[in-house]
Amino acid sequence: MNSTGPQNEGSLPLKAFRLTPPYKRLHSFSEIGQGAHLNVRTGTLVFLRVTSPTRDWTMIKHWVPRIRHLFPNTATILHVGSETGPAVRHLTGRATKLHVRAVLADGEPIYDTLRPILTEPVDLAGDVIEWLSVKGLQLPPRLRYLITQILCHATDEPNVSSLLRSIHEPETGTRRLFHLKGVPPPHCWFQVARALQAAIVIQSGSRRLLDISLSLGYHDHSALNQRISRTFRLKCGDIRNTLGWEWLMDRWVGLEMRR
């Protein structure tokens, strides 16, 4: 699996902030440029300050993709100040197409506002596929389709063999295609899909670990903890008080590249 690293983007005309667990206080980035990503901690979110949703749109459209390439292990959030109304709603709709994860206004409690947004993705499979391109992994259409199907249906089937049968795909041919394209085999995508879904539910903080484990087909919480450990080299407790799935996928890609 090949991916490209961050590129130097120079100074940023919009104010940028980082938010790290426990998500209480924004910290300013002194400069956005090469090497800045080295200071990004696990579970960090990147905020861009928007003075005017209408006037700043050109800069937002230009800089959000660059920020995402520079910080692929973070979720990008827009901070619109105290302005509300149609302009902010319009900005939210446009920003979603840039894969901005949320738009936050002044006065809103940061963690309590972001947690339900970031733990209830509308199209996680589609977001992950798009994110892989941000990481520099350009998938041909056939491979993109297969990985999307695995990401969508991993929690519905007991194993990848059953999943491939359910979508009428030959297991041997699918494994061969993944091998030829130099990406992790289907069972690895199946495992990360299940682990990622579990991690997002864990981040929501709404259910006990045992309940999450049983609902996802694990015998107990120890089995789920083993899956998280094997996939991300983390424990469930390391994930519970974080937000964003991007840092988990970035971690998984890095582990797969070293294997």
Which residues 6+ apart lie within 8 Å of 136 measured at CB?
2, 3, 4
- Rounded-to-integer distance, Cα 126 and Cα 1, Å: 19
Residue 99: both structure tokens together: 């894969």
* pLDDT tens-digit readout, 85-132: 788 889 999 999 999 999 998 888 999 999 999 999 999 999 999 999
- Rounded-to-integer distance, Cα 89 and Cα 71, Å: 26
- Rounded-to-integer distance, Cα 184 and Cα 49, Å: 38
* pLDDT tens-digit readout, 165-196: 999 999 999 999 999 999 999 999 999 999 99
* pLDDT tens-digit readout, 119-169: 999 999 999 999 999 999 999 999 999 999 999 999 999 999 999 999 999
Residue 16: both structure tokens together: 């940028």
* pLDDT tens-digit readout, 192-234: 999 999 999 999 987 889 998 988 888 898 999 999 999 999 9
Residues 129, 138: contact at Cβ < 8 Å? no
